[in-house]
A and B are shown apart, each in its own frame.
Chain A
Amino acid sequence: MRKWDVECIPNPDLLYYRVNKKKYHEIWKSKRVNKGHKFPAGLFSFAGSYLSVDWSKYSTPRQSQSRARIPDDNGIVEFKVADVRRERHKVRHVPTRGNRAHSAICGIQPKIRITLQRIAQWSEGFVIDPD
């Protein structure tokens, strides 16, 4: 497999993030208040100091879902790059050998998670139904 060049991600583009159904339902079961919020902050999992996402230039929601261990167990949410950067988070293209779309949102974890719960939208056709 070839090594991909790192590119600048334009503000109008989208980032896709996989949400595991087990996690989604377990966090909702654990919540006692604020049930009206669509995306609990706990949905967004960090790999060390960053959150892994897929850049829409090189991935569709379906392709992003297909990279999961069990694809059908995952929904997809999306964020506009501009909305992420507006909160002063860094968005970087970090392609891996197996995934040219791989990108990272970097910053202080709880701030990123609060930002994402506010701006996230389900990708059409990849919604997790509530229990």
Chain B
Amino acid sequence: MEYRNGDFRGQHPKAIDVGVDESVAGDAGGIDGIVEDAKQRLFALEADWDGEASPVFDEITVKTAIDFVHELSLQVNGENLAKDMEILPASAGSVDLHWQTPHFELLVVFHADGSSSFYGDNCHGERSIQGEQRPDPEEIARWMEDLNA
């Protein structure tokens, strides 16, 4: 495991396999590519990008979201994490991490004021997790694993 420029890279020895393709298990390359694309898109958006007077994206908010992705990638192997992950602009300077898979849906919101909130379920309102704080990557990884089982 390596810590570089504020980002964790590599594979955690306790990483949980929730994926379907062993050939990409532990490969952070897919995640890194998605993260880089997302950063470029978010920072390219101008104020009022949504017609609702949202500000430009703050570097700290984007970094907080991306750090969470990297921490989660240490816990979760497999292409599913990257395959279904969206890093999207949201209102008022917030950044959304969103997964919609056949087994679960999870939305983690990193707000511009530094707070976070999250909700996930099995796409039918059951087996849900939610909170109004930064989610624990280990807890999220176990939940993803349970719903993929």
Q: Which residues of A contact B (CB under 8 A)?
A: 20-23, 26-27, 30-34, 37, 40-42, 45-46, 69-70, 73-74, 87, 108-111, 113-114
From A22, A23, A42, B96 is in contact (CB under 8 Å) with: A42
**In the assembled complex, how far is the CB of residue B33 from the closest CB belonging to chain A, in whole angstroms?**
10
**Is the Cβ of B50 less than 8 Å from the Cβ of A20?**
yes
Which residues in A have their C-beta under 8 angstroms from that of B37?
Answer: 32
- 7 A-B contact pairs sorted by A residue (CB < 8 Å): A20-B50, A22-B51, A41-B96, A70-B51, A73-B51, A87-B125, A110-B118
Which residues in B have their C-beta under 8 angstroms from that of A87?
Answer: 125
**In the assembled complex, how far is the CB of residue A53 from the closest CB belonging to chain B, in whole angstroms?**
15
**Is the Cβ of B86 less than 8 Å from the Cβ of A33?**
yes
**Is the Cβ of A34 less than 8 Å from the Cβ of B100?**
yes
Closest 8 A-B residue pairs measured CB to CB?
A45-B91, A23-B50, A20-B51, A111-B119, A22-B51, A110-B119, A110-B107, A42-B90
Nearest residue (CB) in B for A111 is B119
**Is the Cβ of A22 less than 8 Å from the Cβ of B34?**
no
Per the bound structure, the CA–CA distance linking A108 and B135 in Å amounts to 14
How many residues belonging to B are interface residues under a CB distance threshold of 8 Å?
A: 35
Residue from B45, B84, B92, B107 with most neighbouring chain A CB atoms (10 Å): B107
Q: Which residues of B contact A (CB under 8 A)?
A: 34, 37-38, 41, 45, 48-52, 83-86, 88-92, 96, 98, 100, 105, 107-109, 117-119, 121, 125, 128, 130-132
From A26, A110, A114, B89 is in contact (CB under 8 Å) with: A26
Per the bound structure, the CA–CA distance linking A26 and B41 in Å amounts to 10
Per the bound structure, the CA–CA distance linking A45 and B92 in Å amounts to 8
**Is the Cβ of A108 less than 8 Å from the Cβ of B50?**
no
Nearest residue (CB) in A for B83 is A33
Which residues in B have their C-beta under 8 angstroms from that of A30?
Answer: 38, 41, 86, 88-89
**Is the Cβ of A110 less than 8 Å from the Cβ of B50?**
no
For the A-B complex with A23-B50, A109-B109, A113-B109 known, give 16 more contacts whose Cβ atoms are closer than 8 Å: A20-B50, A20-B51, A20-B52, A23-B52, A23-B91, A26-B49, A30-B38, A30-B89, A32-B37, A34-B100, A42-B90, A46-B92, A108-B117, A108-B132, A110-B117, A114-B107
Which residues in A have their C-beta under 8 angstroms from that of B52?
Answer: 20, 23, 45
Q: A27-B89, A46-B92 are in contact. Are A21 and B109 (CB under 8 A)?
A: no
Per the bound structure, the CA–CA distance linking A33 and B45 in Å amounts to 20
